[in-house]
């Protein structure tokens, strides 16, 4: 993808390299004319190029323009429609529009085979010969999509923990647990809290632990126990489609909560049709409690409510459908703050209350009993 995007001639000297085939040859000077993988600006330039293409060609390919503007993550397109014919139209328009700029779309996949009937075999993500096999899945953005049953699953391939665990080793393991949608938020939160404890470790002379210094035996045992449970994530199956077909009503319910160690928010989709009601987790987000400043539980609950408001902003920006939204918190203090004008409170509370009230205007905040 990057090599299809030409860099402006004024900027090409900034991609100048020296090259020779052997030490005895004279040095040659080259200027790279296209966007190159590994440069900090490459993902932005690629995304911005797609958006510009949608801008100039959108009049001819309206369905493609919407998908390109909203459903691309660098070179991965994740989009869909409510019926096969609409999905086929999106696929055809996206392929045609991007081809005008030299971008040829490959690795097409769909949970409905008829959407891909006229796609060349070489352009499919899964070859037809796999029809007789059980595993028909592709990986996208850190998740594995099982096309046959239309489910998301995780593929956590962590090596066995090292004989001697260090801060560097543990953090490298945590970085391999990728959960972009927040579908296994409690696992990620536990890993974050353990990472925070590593940062707080001190040596006998009150200095932070070095990256490659062996961790205390108790910390090593704690991580090994946690590490040994992560393989269970491979058994998790999450439906890709979170609503019921032809839903007559869709609601968002966002819960927020906090403890002394962490706080978080999760968003559920409640949908109903003539056949019944379905409730499905859509996304979640968690953060560890700040260690620089000691906060009361009430303030941490307010942090959680602020995070819930941010989750709501992201979700409504992504799904673009009209829904009734209800927020739930077990903190009566936070709910009282949110029912009053921000100028009644001190700066810390006032700033967050103002943000929450503004970003969740038109929704309901309700109390849910805590445990």
CA nearest neighbour of 173 among 185, 184, 187: 187
Q: What pTM was computed for the model?
A: 0.85
Position of tokens 């906090």?
Answer: 258
Whether 19 shows a pLDDT value over 60: the answer reads yes
Position 189 scores a pLDDT of 93
CATH code assigned at 289:
3.30.420.10
Position 132 scores a pLDDT of 42
The verdict on 79 and 109 lying in the same domain is yes
Distance CA 1, CA 104 (A): 9
What mean pLDDT, rounded, does the chain reach? 91
The verdict on 225 and 345 lying in the same domain is no
The verdict on 224 and 304 lying in the same domain is no
Position 137 scores a pLDDT of 74
The verdict on 18 and 75 lying in the same domain is yes
Task: Write the pLDDT tens digit of every residue in 101-116.
Answer: 999 999 999 999 999 9
The verdict on 257 and 363 lying in the same domain is yes
Whether 131 shows a pLDDT value over 50: the answer reads no
The verdict on 201 and 154 lying in the same domain is yes
Average pLDDT over residues 69-87: 90
Position 328 scores a pLDDT of 98
User: Cβ-count burial of 347 within 10 angstroms (0-12 exposed, 13-18 middle, 19+ buried)?
Assistant: exposed
Residue 12, both tokens: 């090409």
Of 176, 208, 235, the residue that ends a domain is: 235
List C-alpha distances in Å: 238 to 10, 153, 316: 49, 6, 21
The verdict on 245 and 354 lying in the same domain is yes
- Choose the weakest-confidence range: 224-228, 259-263, 367-371: 367-371
Of 188, 205, 235, the residue that ends a domain is: 235
In the structure, what pLDDT confidence band is assigned to residue 130 with cuts at 50, 70 and 90? very low
The verdict on 5 and 116 lying in the same domain is yes
Position 134 scores a pLDDT of 53
Whether 371 shows a pLDDT value over 80: the answer reads no
CA nearest neighbour of 248 among 269, 273, 270: 273
The verdict on 6 and 123 lying in the same domain is yes
The verdict on 10 and 76 lying in the same domain is yes
Distance CA 78, CA 91 (A): 11
If one counts the domains in the chain, the total is 3
The verdict on 25 and 139 lying in the same domain is no
Position 20 scores a pLDDT of 94
Task: Write the pLDDT tens digit of every residue in 185-234.
Answer: 999 999 999 999 999 999 888 888 999 999 999 999 999 999 999 988 88
The verdict on 13 and 108 lying in the same domain is yes
Position of tokens 């941490």?
Answer: 300
- Choose the weakest-confidence range: 12-21, 24-33, 173-182, 261-270: 173-182
Residues recorded for the chain: 371
Q: Which domain holds residue 293?
A: 241-367
Q: Work out whether strand 28-31 and strand 72-73 pair parallel, antiparallel, or are unpaired.
A: unpaired
Distance CA 181, CA 194 (A): 21
Of 76, 98, 127, the residue that ends a domain is: 127
């Amino acid at each position: 993808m990057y090599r299809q995007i030409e860099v402006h001639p004024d900027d090409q000297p900034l991609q100048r390299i020296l090259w020779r085939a052997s030490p005895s040859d004279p040095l040659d000077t080259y200027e790279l004319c296209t966007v190159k993988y590994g440069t900090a600006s490459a993902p932005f330039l690629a995304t911005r190029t797609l958006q510009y293409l949608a801008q100039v060609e959108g009049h001819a390919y309206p369905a493609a323009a919407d998908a390109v503007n909203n459903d691309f993550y660098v070179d991965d397109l994740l989009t869909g429609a409510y019926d096969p014919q609409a999905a086929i139209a999106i696929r055809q328009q996206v392929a045609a529009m991007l081809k005008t700029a030299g971008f040829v779309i490959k690795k097409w996949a769909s949970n409905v085979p008829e959407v891909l009937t006229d796609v060349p075999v070489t352009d499919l993500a899964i070859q037809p010969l796999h029809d007789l096999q059980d595993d028909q899945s592709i990986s996208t953005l850190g998740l594995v999509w099982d096309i046959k049953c239309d489910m998301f699953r995780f593929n956590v391939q962590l090596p066995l923990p090292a004989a001697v665990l260090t801060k560097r080793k543990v953090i490298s393991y945590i970085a391999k647990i990728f959960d972009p949608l927040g579908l296994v938020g409690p696992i990620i939160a536990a890993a974050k809290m353990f990472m925070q404890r590593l940062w707080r470790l001190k040596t006998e002379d009150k200095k932070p632990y070095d990256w490659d210094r062996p961790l205390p035996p108790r910390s090593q045992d704690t991580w090994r126990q946690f590490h040994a449970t992560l393989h269970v994530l491979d058994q998790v199956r999450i439906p890709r489609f979170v609503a019921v077909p032809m839903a007559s009503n869709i609601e968002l319910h966002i819960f927020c909560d906090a403890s002394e160690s962490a706080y978080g928010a999760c968003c559920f989709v409640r949908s109903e049709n003539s056949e019944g009601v379905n409730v499905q987790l859509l996304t979640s987000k968690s953060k560890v409690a700040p260690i620089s400043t000691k906060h009361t539980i009430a303030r941490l609950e307010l942090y959680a409510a602020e995070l819930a408001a941010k989750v709501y902003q992201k979700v409504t920006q992504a799904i673009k459908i009209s829904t009734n939204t209800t927020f739930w918190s077990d903190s009566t203090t936070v709910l009282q703050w949110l029912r009053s004008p921000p100028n009644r409170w001190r700066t810390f509370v006032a700033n967050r209350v103002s943000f929450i009230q503004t970003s969740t205007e038109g929704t309901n905040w309700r109390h849910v009993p805590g445990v």
